Amino acid sequence: MIVELCFLVILVMTSAVEAQLKTGFYSSSCPTAESIVRSTVVSYFNNDPTIAPALLRLHFHDCFVQGCDGSILIAGFSAERNALTNLGLRGFEVIDNAKSQIEAICPGVVSCADILALAARDVVDLTNGPSWSVPTGRRDGRISLSSQASNLPSPLEPVSVHRQKFAAKGLDDHDLVTLLGKLFDTNPTFCRHIIHVPSIWFIRIT
């Protein structure tokens, strides 16, 4: 239940952008794109179920900084993925694998941002959450700066800062606990840092 709630909160974060997208965007230009993403995710999930929260967290980190533009996937010394907050991210190889397969049949058509969004949806479904149609048509971001990752909530920050960052995205305390509670819980590295921000666990959902 918590996993699908996490994804629904991410959808709230990007509602303005989603309105410009449409379901089945690649139905003519690359009709097998979504099935390729699905089969790739299933293959990795069957080998390692922990890839589910990893991909969900990867999508969250992508969306929270400057929208779901795939900029978290860009490699580079000063890129987002090399920011301290993002060093524990996993699942890049899943997206790279799916992208390579899609490029082989539909070169230059499907964005990495869409592949990541579809993969996040698929892991929710694979963990007994709901499945739904994901609007697609995102364009990949070209700018990825580690400095922008400071927008992400850090396990070393007090809960008051977390609340400010979530409020800036139109999210409330319920959303904060739903997302950070699950993301910390599924990441052992983050769990070791929770002692620095114990107040986060005193927020109650009413």
- Known binder of ligand: residue 67? yes
pLDDT(141) > 60: yes
Task: Quickly list H helices, the chain.
Answer: 2-13, 15-18, 33-47, 51-66, 92-105, 112-126, 159-168, 173-185, 188-191
The predicted-structure confidence for 55-111, as pLDDT tens digits, reads as follows: 988 998 898 888 889 999 988 888 888 888 888 899 999 999 999 999 999 999 999
Among 153, 191, 188, smallest CA distance to 173 is for: 153
Q: In the prediction, which pLDDT does 156 show? A: 74
Distances from the Cα of 32 to the Cα of 106, 109, 110, 198, angstroms: 9, 12, 11, 46
Tell me the two tokens of residue 36. Answer: 């390729």
- Known binder of ligand: residue 62? yes
- Known binder of ligand: residue 65? yes
The predicted-structure confidence for 1-33, as pLDDT tens digits, reads as follows: 444 445 544 554 554 445 578 999 999 999 999
Q: Give the global pTM.
A: 0.76
Instruction: Measure the N-to-C terminal CA separation of the chain; round to a whole number of Å.
Output: 17
Q: In the prediction, which pLDDT does 176 show? A: 77
- The rounded distance, in Å, linking the Cα atoms of 163 and 165 is 5
Catalytically annotated residues? 61
The C-alpha torsion from 128 through 204 and 63 to 84, rounded to 10°, is -110
Domains of the chain, CATH where assigned = 2-150 (1.10.520.10), 153-206 (no CATH)
- The rounded distance, in Å, linking the Cα atoms of 166 and 2 is 18
- Known binder of ligand: residue 170? no
Q: How many CB atoms lie within 10 A of CB 114?
A: 26
